Structure 1
Amino acid sequence: MEDAQKWIDKGIDFVVEFGPKIIGAILIYIIGSWIIKKLMKVLRKVMAKGSYDQSLQKFLVNLVSWALKIFLVIMVISTLGVETTSLAAVIAAAGLAIGLALQGSLGNFAGGVLIMIFKPYKIGDLIEAQDVLGVVKDIQIFTTKLTTPENKLAIVPNGAMANGNIINYTAEGKIRVDTVIGVGYDEDIKKTKDVLMEVLTSNPKVLSDPAPSVNVMELADSSVNFAVRPFCKPEDYWDVYFATYEGSKLALDKAGIEIPYPHSVEIHKAED
Structure 2
Amino acid sequence: MDYNIDLDNITVLREKGIDLLFQFGPILLKSLILLLVGRYAIRLLMKLFGKTLEKYEIDPSLATFFKSFLNALLWVLLLISVATTLGMEMTSFVAILGAAGLAVGLALQGSLSNFAGGVLILVFKPFRVGDTIEAQGTIGEVESIDILYTKIKNFDNKVVTIPNGALANNSMINYSQKPTRRVEIKVGVAYGTDLKKTRNIILEVLKLDQRIHADPEPLVKFVNFGDSSLDLIVRVWVDSENLWPVYWDNIEAIKEAFEQQEIEIPFPQRTVHHLYSEGK
Give me the TM-score of the superposition, normalised by structure 2: 0.87
Q: Which position in structure 2 is the counterpart of 1:191?
A: 197
Change (3 A) 1:262 1:33: same
Q: Which position in structure 2 is the counterpart of 1:214?
A: 220
Determine which of 148, 155, 168 is the counterpart of 1:149.
155
Partner-residue secondary structure (3-state), 2:57: coil
Distance 1:196 1:245 in 2: 10
Q: Which runs of 5+ in 1 are unaligned?
A: none
Partner-residue secondary structure (3-state), 1:93: helix
Identity across matched positions, percent: 40
Deviation string 1:206-247 (CA, Å, 9 cap, x unpaired) is 334433322222221211111122223333333233323323
Distance 1:77 1:224 in 2: 78
Partner-residue secondary structure (3-state), 1:136: strand
Structure 2 contact 183–238 (Cα < 8 Å) conserved: yes
Q: Which position in structure 1 is the counterpart of 2:30?
A: 24
**Larger Cα Rg: Structure 1 or Structure 2?**
2
Q: CA deviation at 1:267?
A: 10
Give me the TM-score of the superposition, normalised by structure 1: 0.90
Distance 1:78 1:197 in 2: 77
Q: CA deviation at 1:204?
A: 4.2
Determine which of 34, 45, 59 is the counterpart of 1:39.
45
Change (3 A) 1:210 1:15: farther
Change (3 A) 1:167 1:2: same
RMSD: 2.4
Aligned residues: 272
Deviation string 1:55-105 (CA, Å, 9 cap, x unpaired) is 111111111111111111221222222222111100100101111111111
Distance 1:218 1:28 in 2: 76
Structure 1 contact 126–234 (Cα < 8 Å) conserved: no
Q: CA deviation at 1:192?
A: 1.6
Distance 1:68 1:208 in 2: 55
Deviation string 1:121-172 (CA, Å, 9 cap, x unpaired) is 1111111222222211111111111122222212111111111112212111
Q: Which runs of 5+ in 2 are unaligned?
A: 1-6
Structure 1 contact 36–65 (Cα < 8 Å) conserved: yes
Amino acid at match of 2:58: Y
Q: Which position in structure 2 is the counterpart of 1:61?
A: 67
Amino acid at match of 2:222: V
Distance 1:33 1:15 in 2: 25
Distance 1:149 1:88 in 2: 48
Q: Which position in structure 2 is the counterpart of 1:107?
A: 113
Amino acid at match of 1:5: T
Determine which of 146, 154, 175 is the counterpart of 1:169.
175
Distance 1:210 1:147 in 2: 32
Change (3 A) 1:264 1:9: farther
Partner-residue secondary structure (3-state), 2:231: strand
Of 32-41 and 63-72, more deviation after overlay is shown by 32-41
Partner-residue secondary structure (3-state), 1:177: strand
Change (3 A) 1:41 1:169: same
Q: CA deviation at 1:263?
A: 4.2
Q: Which position in structure 2 is the counterpart of 1:122?
A: 128
Distance 2:173 2:210 in 1: 26
